[in-house]
Amino acid sequence: MVRTLNIISVAAAVMSGSTSAFSPVTSLPQAVRTSASSPLQLVADAPLIEIERVEETSFYTDSEEDMLSSERWHLILHNDKQNTKEWVAHALHFVVGLSEEQAYHIMQSAHKNGKAFVGTYVYDVAECYQQGMGKNGIKCDVIPAEGFQ
């Protein structure tokens, strides 16, 4: 016990000196203080930056965009071996918004014939449904309603 106290007192004497193994040889430069009293004041004093807005561009020309939005498009469901019939009917119900009965009949038609007509929509809606079905692993096509047999 006495020996432990001697070691502690020696360590305290060494540490109380102006230099130790833990103090740096040279002092580090201090950060320059500004006259701002708070971080919010720094933000308030900052110069304003003007952000230039970029005009949105479209992939389609105006005439093509009008044509796509006014034309009607068919969503066609394809049969596959990967998905169960129940899963396809479930996806038609939740993605396209068909009733459970409609979804079941369309799924059965695709199962028997290899493909089935789901509905006619404007292009953006048909494409959205196609992508939603694709995320569920189900293949659909969007084709122009004109000339479809």
Q: What pTM was estimated for this model as a whole?
A: 0.54
pLDDT per residue as tens digits for the range 43-79: 566 676 666 666 665 565 656 655 555 689 999 999 9
Where do the domains of the chain lie?
Answer: 78-144
Read off the pLDDT of each residue in 113-129 and give the average, rounded to a whole number: 95
Contact 43, 35 (CB under 8 A): no
The percent helix, strand, coil of the chain (3-state, each to 5) is 45, 15, 40
What is the sign, positive or negative, of the torsion defined by CA atoms of 60, 67, 122, 105?
Answer: negative
- pLDDT tops 60 at residue 14: no
Q: CB-based contacts of 143: which residues, under 8 Å, 6+ apart? A: 73, 74, 76
Topology classification of domain 78-144: Ribosomal Protein L30; Chain: A, (3.30.1390)
Task: Please give the structure tokens belonging to residue 1.
Answer: 């016990």
Contact 141, 88 (CB under 8 A): no
pLDDT per residue as tens digits for the range 28-39: 566 655 555 666
DSSP three-state, residue 115:
strand
**Mean pLDDT in the chain?**
77
